[in-house]
């Protein structure tokens, strides 16, 4: 049984749109990182569609695109979201790709090399924006001494600490509680009807 069968939210009715919108929301953010693994979620963001025990790196990137989906991973200090829009008959497959690293991650080191390069580039772009710098400093002062006060971006000095086991340990520690995970769908989700009756359905 898939973990997401415990937390499903759908909107009532059919708006006749051929497109559905999916979101996986995790009650986990950079505030859950430690000084030793700071930057893990930013690296994970760039490795999210990589290899798992059920797919290859190529499959993780190719299959959602073939479904017409663009999966986005956004990191915050206290919440992380994975969102996508896709044709409604592809929703089950797209959701599977969105969630594989929650249940069967691999995070191979040879794939993480590029993920860290991408994360550092994103850090450089973000911290060239004065508004982002002010927000980072405001959080540092407001939450000094805690995880919420650390940067949400990967720093160059911490890239060596982010390896396969670092991310596997972080995932095992923070993704194990289904009460911290919600799956939200907007539109007519055909696969919802096939879920077992034990599903807890939230109607928005």
- Cα separation, 193 vs 186, whole angstroms: 14
Q: For residue range 99-131, what is the model confidence (pLDDT) as tens digits?
A: 899 888 999 999 999 999 999 999 999 999 999
CA distances to 48, 123, 137, 154, 169 from 149, rounded to whole Å, are 25, 16, 8, 14, 22
The residue-averaged pLDDT of 129-135 equals 96
Region of 81 please: left (phi>0), alpha (psi -120 to 50) or beta.
Answer: beta
Write down the pTM of the prediction.
0.85
State pLDDT tens for residues 2-23: 444 445 555 545 567 788 888 8
Whether pLDDT at 199 is above 70: no
Query: Which positions ≥6 away from 139 have C-beta within 8 Å?
Result: 77, 148, 149
Both tokens of 73, joined, read 């991973």
Q: Are the C-beta atoms of residues 107 and 168 closer than 8 Å to each other?
A: yes
Question: Which pLDDT belongs to residue 121?
Answer: 97
Per-residue pLDDT, 17: 78
The partner residues of 82 in beta bridges, in order of sequence, read 24, 73
* Cβ neighbours for 158, distance < 8 A, ≥ 6 positions apart: 38, 39
């Amino acid at each position: 049984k898939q973990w997401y069968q415990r937390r499903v939210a759908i909107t009532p009715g059919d708006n006749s749109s051929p497109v559905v919108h999916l979101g996986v929301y995790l009650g986990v953010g950079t505030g859950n990182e430690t000084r030793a693994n700071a930057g893990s979620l930013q690296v994970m963001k760039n490795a999210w569609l990589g290899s798992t025990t059920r797919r290859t790196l190529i499959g993780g990137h190719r299959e959602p695109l073939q479904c017409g989906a663009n999966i986005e991973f956004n990191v915050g200090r206290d919440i992380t979201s994975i969102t996508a829009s896709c044709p409604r008959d592809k929703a089950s497959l797209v959701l599977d790709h969105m969630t594989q690293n929650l249940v069967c991650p691999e995070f191979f080191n040879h794939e993480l090399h590029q993920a860290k390069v991408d994360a550092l580039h994103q850090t450089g772009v973000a911290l060239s924006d004065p508004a982002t710098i002010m927000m980072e400093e405001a959080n540092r002062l407001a939450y000094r001494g805690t995880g919420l006060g650390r940067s949400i971006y990967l720093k160059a000095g911490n890239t060596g600490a982010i390896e396969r086991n670092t991310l596997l340990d972080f995932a095992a520690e923070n993704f194990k509680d289904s009460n911290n995970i919600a799956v939200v769908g907007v539109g007519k989700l055909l696969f919802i009807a096939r879920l077992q009756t034990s599903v807890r359905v939230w109607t928005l």
